[in-house]
Chain A
């Protein structure tokens, strides 16, 4: 809460708490009102589909480290059986969403703007949908917070609002919290997953919220829902009635009110500090879907195997919502919804504001997916010609982060990275409001993403250069030292010889017979030294070669080579988001990577940064 102290004086903070308790709503700057188009998919109940014949389960579906694979090709697995063991640093496992046989473990295109291949387990369903043993918890209050957090991690739960940040990690963060905010805003047009979930499973969501409350020790909960979802509001209000500490807050429909930072501003008048987290201002936010997943994990003992996906757009004959098993290929889902393909179609994963177009449909649904949007040819106006910026300022008027998008655009075009930092590019949540209103149809967000990736790449380059320089300096110093030592040795040896000679001469002068045995002793020492140094050098060289070999071997086909690249870059994307102003705070990328790897990393960084920006809750 340290930042709260900075933002508010003590009395202000007390007043702020009173205001929040009284149900006051604040404003966030900017925002837009794009056509909602929610009616397309929110009329029908969430459908349950038979298990798809084939599932593609990426190892890593969250932000963080991938797990290590526990199964082998050909193995038979049961529904709910873990397929990977969580890696270090709070990684999450993935589970078999249905029973079947592991067909292949290897690279497969991912749900990513460039369909970047990632390590994926291909599972052929046997159609039985046979469960492994479940471990429901009858009375969760009997368990401690850390035990429950461990269970949530074991169930593989990541934020289902889009960012896919491990829920357990978020819960484990300490700090004194005064509100838990449950995000059911779903401000992005077209998407109705949370809407349907709240209508149909309000009770389960509320039980999940109670568990979250128990874990985090937060007394008060605010459940935020946009006023365009009256049924969901009613369902949640009913489910909350009788529970003092839960309050439903109806927020006006305005994009992007579901953005984590915007919603916090809206409900509490507080601002998460740049580089900070909600907990810095005493808040914790979870998505309604996450709360429901927590309920299923603890009370029913079911790990995260499926999620609600909105299938919508006018190119679908039966739009609606479905419970999709994680790993269901997009084309399977689209077929179920009666997709009518047409040449050069657009299929968007996510919503129209922040989603990304898919280059191929053979990619799986993952924990962070929430919508597949298949618009008809003329449904969403594709951008036409980009015209010159007329500095109309429309973009600045709608920016929820109070940035100056047109300034960022000029700076990005000029590759002025210092200027971009100075104008807080990193605080851009890539919501797209600016590009939405721009009369010159400038793809502003695209410029920002590119600039962020460039800055990232440049930073990595700089790091690499610095490391190389350090190495070079070290080597130079070592050579210098060795040279010095050699010189000294030679001098010593020469002196010893001189001394010996002098002694001998002296002896010879004193006594005629010369013994000479002593003379070999002294010079032999330097010789020994030399051998030892040579051996040490050879050893060091060998070790270095081995290291280099490892580094070059890695990118080839090894199952866990890519995830490494990906984690690093996704971490970096996160880091970029987390420490916006100063990219130089983050420090990964110490191993020499070849260009290709860097490029992949940059691509993933771009995608991840975008995804992370979709922090609508979670």
Chain B
């Protein structure tokens, strides 16, 4: 009789990478729904495009690298990358923006570095930065939240816009933006809250004056606060499911909040406060979904605390003093670069070895 020979352990927790990624996708749903509610069909269309591109790019790469494409596709990591990028870009950006971004993320950032687990940089954020640098105009035309517009562009008009960059009546996103700001009519496109504050501050307005804008009738920008709350909800679900550990989100939010509080103390009229920093832009998405990407984060828990606090710091610095309104992508990439050093200095002390003292 022949026996099955295997190496110990002979039992495993049934929690595969694919399953983990599924949970991440589930956790993204509340945020996606909120984005859809506030910013219209665009986000769903972007997701569709992104996922399709991801599958095609992943299959091509795996084929080229002569790996079985099925088993690797099943791990769902490409799917998560695509979704994170899709929810990060302006909902009505032209179709080729997301296609280029996702293709770059998967082909260059992930596979040219050697595939899952080998990439130095967070693929979604690297893709985002490439898009931001290559297509600054398309990447900054965000959509106005539904509270200001009253109703969304129809699905048909959204598709039309994404395909041809004009609505069926012949308006471009930019034109609509100008029309909106000029006449106070319903607008489709406008700046994000963080963008808005930056522009106002650069024009000599104080923060409180800037916050008078209708965009800020809520806590941290109409629509945005709810989107952030929805991502927070998803993030808490991930924590509860133990898909992610608390270290990264906690350290990121804590460092950002601390700096924001300090900023408010020092220059209350120049620097946005905690509420804006935590609940506007992509803060929650970054804290729970982007910075927690295991591949490009630090490895030990102590290292992760440092890593995430660093992201919080960079986000704050760029938002406050840098040239870009939001800074998640840059912050994450910069922190990715520091990972080897962080890992080196936060290596846990092996049992039975003398504790390393800090010099």
Contacts and interface: CB of A to CB of B under 8 A. Distances in A.
B12 A357 contact: no
A396 B77 CA distance: 21
B14 interface: yes
Contact of A352 (B3, B11, B118, B245): B11
**Which of B2, B7, B11, B116 has the most chain A CB atoms closer than 10 A to its own CB?**
B11
A390 B352 contact: no
B357 interface: no
A396 B350 contact: no
Nearest to B15: A439
B311 to A, nearest CB: 17
B294 interface: yes
B214 interface: no
Interface in B1-59: 1-17, 19-20
B140 to A, nearest CB: 33
Contacts of B72: 387-388
B12 A427 contact: no
A388 B13 CA distance: 17
B174 interface: no
Decide if the interface of chain B is mainly helix, strand, loop or mixed.
Answer: loop
Interface in B274-299: 294-295, 297, 299
B3 A436 contact: no
B12 A383 contact: yes
Contacts of A393: 245, 294, 297, 299-301, 304
Contact of A390 (B9, B17, B300, B348): B17
Interface stretch (A116-124, A214-222, A301-309, A401-409): A401-409
B3 A359 contact: yes
Nearest to A407: B299
Interface residues on B, range: 35 or more
A341 interface: yes
B71 interface: yes
Given A427-B353, A437-B15, A352 B9 contact: yes
A28 B352 CA distance: 12
A427 B8 contact: no
Interface in B79-138: 115-118
Contact of A357 (B4, B15, B299): B4
Given A344-B4, A387-B75, A273 B352 contact: yes
B299 A396 contact: yes
Interface string A8-28: 000000000000000000001
A276 to B, nearest CB: 7
Contact of B353 (A344, A424, A432): A424
A391 B350 contact: no
A404 B299 contact: yes
Contacts of A445: 7-9
A436 B299 contact: no
Interface string A430-456: 101001111111010110010000000
Interface string A251-289: 000000000010001000001111110000000000000
B246 to A, nearest CB: 12
B9 A401 contact: no
Contact of B350 (A385, A403, A446): A403
B105 to A, nearest CB: 16
Contacts of A274: 350-353
Contact of B11 (A6, A113, A189, A358): A189
B4 A346 contact: yes
A343 B3 CA distance: 7
A347 interface: yes
B3 A344 contact: yes
A272 B350 CA distance: 11
Contacts of A381: 11-12, 14
A360 interface: yes
Which of B1, B9, B300, B354 is the most central at the interface, judged by chain A CB atoms within 10 Å of its CB?
A: B9
Given A353-B11, A437-B13, A261 B351 contact: yes
A391 B13 contact: no
Contacts of A348: 10
A356 B8 contact: yes
Contacts of B15: 437, 439
Given A34-B11, A402-B351, A439-B17, A391 B4 contact: no
Highest count of chain A CB atoms <10 Å: which of B13, B15, B354: B13
Interface string A329-366: 00000000000010111111010111111111100000
A593 to B, nearest CB: 26
A610 B10 CA distance: 14
Contacts of B7: 356, 443, 445-446, 449
Contacts of B77: 390
B63 interface: no
A354 B352 CA distance: 22
A272 B352 contact: yes
A382 interface: yes
Contacts of A357: 3-6, 10
Nearest to A399: B348
A265 B349 CA distance: 14
Nearest to B119: A391
B19 A439 contact: yes
B8 A353 contact: yes
A400 interface: yes
A559 B352 CA distance: 41
A29 interface: yes
Contacts of B117: 388-391, 440
A271 B348 contact: no
A355 B8 contact: yes
> Which one of A382, A383, A436, A439 has the greatest number of beta carbons of chain B within 10 Å?
A439
A395 to B, nearest CB: 9
A437 B294 CA distance: 15
Nearest to B1: A341
Interface string A221-254: 0000000000000000000000000000000000
Nearest to B299: A393
A339 to B, nearest CB: 11
A271 B5 contact: no
Interface string A136-176: 00000000000000000000000000000000000000000
A191 B281 CA distance: 54
A502 interface: no
B4 A382 contact: yes
B68 to A, nearest CB: 9
B8 A424 contact: no
A157 B299 CA distance: 44
Contacts of B116: 387-390
Contacts of B294: 390-393
A396 B8 contact: no
Interface string B328-355: 0000000000000000000111111110
A346 B10 contact: yes
A354 B8 contact: yes
Nearest to A395: B299
Contacts of B354: 6
A354 B5 contact: no
A436 B12 contact: yes
A188 B75 CA distance: 31
Contacts of A346: 3-4, 6, 10
A449 B9 CA distance: 12
A397 interface: yes
10 contacts: A341-B1, A346-B10, A387-B75, A393-B299, A396-B299, A435-B9, A437-B15, A439-B15, A441-B12, A449-B7
Given A358-B3, A392-B20, 9 more contacts: A29-B348, A275-B352, A387-B17, A387-B116, A388-B75, A388-B118, A402-B351, A435-B12, A449-B7
Interface of A: 6, 28-29, 32, 34-35, 113, 189, 261, 265, 271-276, 341, 343-348, 350, 352-361, 373, 375, 380-383, 385, 387-393, 396-397, 400-404, 406-407, 424, 427, 430, 432, 435-441, 443, 445-446, 449, 610
